[in-house]
Amino acid sequence: MIRFVARRLLEAVPVLFIVVTITFFMVRIAPGGPFDSERDVNPTILANLRAHYNLDAPVLVQYTDYLKGLLKGDLGPSFSDPGFTVNERIAQGFPVSLELGFYALIVALVLGLTTGIIAAVRPNSGWDYSSMSLAMAGICIPNFVLGPLLVLVFGLWLEWLPVTGWDTPGAKILPSLTLGFAYAAYIARLTRGGMLEVLAQDFIRTARAKGLSEARVVLRHGLRGGLQPVISFLGPAAAGLLSGSFVVEMIFQVPGLGRFFVQGAFNRDYTLITGTVLFYAGLIVVLNLAVDVALAWLDPRLRAES
Q: What is the mean pLDDT of residues 37-53?
A: 73
41 pLDDT band, cuts 50/70/90, is low
Query: From the CA atom positions of the chain, what is the Rg in Å?
Result: 24
pLDDT for 143-194, tens place per residue?
888 889 999 999 889 888 888 888 888 889 999 999 888 888 888 888 888 8
pLDDT for 186-217, tens place per residue?
888 888 888 877 777 777 777 777 777 777 77
**303 pLDDT above the threshold of 70:** no
**256 pLDDT above the threshold of 90:** no
Task: Give CA 254 to chain center in angstroms.
Answer: 15
- Return the percentage of the chain with pLDDT > 90, whole number: 9
Q: How much is the pLDDT for 18?
A: 92
Averaged pLDDT of the chain: 82
Q: How much is the pLDDT for 40?
A: 63
**CATH number for the domain whose boundaries are 87-255:** 1.10.3720.10
Is there a contact between 204 and 210 (Cβ–Cβ < 8 Å)?
no
Is there a contact between 104 and 180 (Cβ–Cβ < 8 Å)?
yes
Q: Side chain identity at 254, as an amino acid letter?
A: V
CA distance 185 to 133: 9
CA distance 133 to 125: 12
**263 pLDDT above the threshold of 60:** yes
Is there a contact between 132 and 140 (Cβ–Cβ < 8 Å)?
no
